[in-house]
Amino acid sequence: MTEETPGFEEKPDVPSGATPEDAEPAGAPQEGAAPAGDASAQIAGLTAQLDQVRKALEERTADLQRLQAEFQNYRRRVERDRITVKEIAIANLLTELLPVLDDIGRAREHGELVGGFKSVGESLETVAAKMGLQQFGKEGEPFDPTIHEALMHSYAPDVTETTCVAILQPGYRIGERTIRPARVAVAEPQPGAQTVKADEATEAADDKESGGPDEG
């Protein structure tokens, strides 16, 4: 009978030169190594997250551009409204001053714009001009119903179209805005004058072609 030595256990045979690690099964996975399938899934997840972030950034950028365009439109609209309100206020103020300017003009025509009244009148006209007020209306210019108001009408043989022959009250404008039309007296061509002139022109042409009027 064989006696076992106390304190020793039987161990499997290990080939000579081999370490205990070599004795582990070859197919066992190493600790800490991630499977290839898990790495691909992580990459796919990160790519999806990146696409979501990129899409969100594009949406926010589009929102910002839209807000910026709306703000620019708002600023332009406010500036345009501000200019319009200013022009209306100036036009209303100058409209109230037109009777005073008319009095100054009549006083000048009658030689009464003298002394201190002359200085005040000219100063007022200068201020009104600086605010953009322009006077218009001259004798001899063609009648334009958009800027002229005819108060008197007559016929004249020396006009070829409806013409302003007298300025009864000058007109005023601010820029392109007419705040008061010029009140004028107009004259139209004399009835039949055009026919007479046409006949005279025809006779002159005939005389020129025939070498001159016939001698008596």
Model pLDDT for residues 99-156, shown as the tens digit of each residue: 999 999 999 999 998 988 999 999 999 999 999 999 999 999 999 999 999 999 999 9
Residues 39-62 pLDDT 10s: 888 888 888 889 899 999 999 999
- How much is the pLDDT for 10? 52
Q: Is the pLDDT of residue 183 over 70?
A: yes
Would you state the pLDDT for residue 140?
Answer: 92
| Per-residue buried b or exposed e for 54-79, using 16+ beta carbons within 10 Å of the residue's own CB | eeeeeeeeeeeeeeeeeeeeeeeeee
Q: What is the pTM of this model?
A: 0.57
Tell which residue, 187, 177, 178, has the closest CA to residue 151: 187
Please, which residues bridge with residue 184 across strands? 150, 167
What is the structure's pLDDT at 190?
A: 86
Q: What is the pLDDT of residue 135?
A: 95
DSSP letter, residue 211: T
Average pLDDT over residues 170-185: 93
Give CA–CA dist 115/107, Å, rounded. 12
Sheet holding 171-174, edge to edge: 133-136, 171-174, 177-180
Q: Which two tokens stand for residue 70?
A: 């709306």
Spatial separation of the C-alpha atoms in residues 184 and 193, rounded to whole Å: 23
How many percent of the chain have pLDDT more than 90?
A: 54
Provide the β-strand partners of residue 30.
none
Q: Hey, what amino acid is at 108? A: R
**For residues 95 and 30, which has the higher predicted lDDT (pLDDT)?**
95
Between helices 36-109 and 115-130, what is the axis angle to 10°? Answer: 160
